[in-house]
Amino acid sequence: DQAEVLPFPPFLSDPICEPLGTPIPETCDVLTAKPVNSVTSRSLFGQFRYPLTDRLRAVGGLRYSYDRKKIAAYSATVPTGAAAPGGATNSDTRDWDKVTYRAGLEYDLTPKAMLYILQSTGYKSGTLLYDDRLMQFDGADPQTLTQNTIGIKSRWFDNRLKANFELFDSSYDNYQVTIQADIVTGGCAGNISGGCVTGEGNVKTLTSRGFDVDLDYRLSESDRISFSAGYLEAQFGDPGTLDQAYLDTLTTIPALQEALQTYFNSYDGATLQNSPKWTANLTYEHSFNLGRNGQLNWRTHVLYKSDYYTNYMGGSTINDAVSVQPSYTTYDTYLTWAPLDQNYTVSAYIKNISNYPVMTNYSAAAPGQAAGTVDLDLPRTYGVTISARF
């Protein structure tokens, strides 16, 4: 319930120190206490499998979810150097609940090949944030998902080959997104008053469809090869419009409200970030029998991904060209030795052998930053691990 009151640099205008839309003078500090967050989540769920015939089964399930989020925070503006004033704590509580289900059929084509068709629904609770710049609460509504899948799981050739295939079609409603606006050059990066604002919203629709293939074949007692591939199209639909009342909680500056709506509109037809159309994995394993000295296992792995967007927030649109990660291939290899008693193992590995820089996330400049940020996956990484069991 108690938190240190910390001075913050001036972000946007402040509703107490100055009217909305005007700069905070240097003689005024924004003070905020670290918020107290409370999250409560409860659920009740169950599922069943019921035989209709010797080869056909019905499967299903129900889940009830309840979520409550609460934020209590204290913010104020005071003349620079003055003692932090007392005052009432700002707080807000939001509740959501949802019933989701899973229903489908399973059919045995052969004793070791099963065809299935399923429809499942999902739910993600809304968000609740406190903006210490405007001393207001905002957030996004819950998002829901309906997914249809049809696939085959099978084993062949005395279980030496595992072959799975699945088609899926997913539809999201009210997909939660982050929105931003920057109407002054360097507004976000330079912390310019009235130049930058961020918030959250819900895009009305997002569709994600494609297929997955998973093959695993034991070539011999010592050799095994695995292959998986996937195709994905994840695209936003009409985002709708931002509620004017919500825009007013973020900013009352018309140009910023227009920029926020423009950024939100850019979701129309955009591709979901970190969603390459093609992904493929190939793994080969070979085991060397060392007799009384145990076993040596060598595994090498190849990963391919086609190009994709990585931006979380960037530029004036969601699909910012600077955030594109071009298609790439990476290679890993592992060597593991285990004695006959299996009480310990020694492993050596090299990951990302070609040392290819893979961009995993791009974010435009945030308040107080001089430039945007890029997150990279691991470079070439190598080492040795020793594991023991007692």
- Above pLDDT 90, what percent of the chain? 54
Could you give the CA distance from residue 204 to residue 129 in angstroms, rounded to a whole number?
Answer: 21
pLDDT in tens, 58-84: 999 999 999 998 887 665 555 555 544
Could you give the CA distance from residue 131 to residue 363 in angstroms, rounded to a whole number?
Answer: 20
Could you give the CA distance from residue 276 to residue 147 in angstroms, rounded to a whole number?
Answer: 19
Residue 98, exposed/middle/buried by CB under 10 A (0-12, 13-18, 19+)? middle
Closest CA to 176 of 149, 198, 143: 143
Is the model's pLDDT at 152 over the cut of 60?
Answer: yes
Which pair of tokens denotes residue 26?
Answer: 């240097």
Is the model's pLDDT at 209 over the cut of 50?
Answer: yes
Could you give the CA distance from residue 375 to residue 349 in angstroms, rounded to a whole number?
Answer: 23
Q: Any idea how long the chain is?
A: 390
Contact indicator for 205, 171 with CB cutoff of 8 Å: yes
Which pair of tokens denotes residue 251?
Answer: 């900013």
- Cα angle for residues 348, 354, 359 (degrees, 5° grid): 110
Q: What is the mean pLDDT of the chain?
A: 83
Which pair of tokens denotes residue 96?
Answer: 């959501």
Residue 279: which pLDDT band, with cuts at 50, 70 and 90? very high
pLDDT in tens, 368-379: 556 678 899 999
Contact indicator for 90, 73 with CB cutoff of 8 Å: yes
**DSSP 3-state assignment of 190?**
coil
- Specify the pTM: 0.80
- Specify which residues 96 forms β-bridges with: 67
| Interacting residues of 331 by C-beta distance below 8 A, sequence separation 6+ | 300, 301, 302, 303, 352, 353, 354
> Would you tell me how many other CB atoms lie within 10 Å of the CB of residue 387?
11
Could you give the CA distance from residue 178 to residue 200 in angstroms, rounded to a whole number?
Answer: 4
Could you give the CA distance from residue 105 to residue 97 in angstroms, rounded to a whole number?
Answer: 28
pLDDT at 89: 58
Which pair of tokens denotes residue 248?
Answer: 């007013």
- Tell me which H or E stretch contains 265: helix 254-265
Q: Which of 32-46, 131-145, 267-281, 313-327 is the most confident on average? A: 267-281
Which pair of tokens denotes residue 87?
Answer: 């005052």
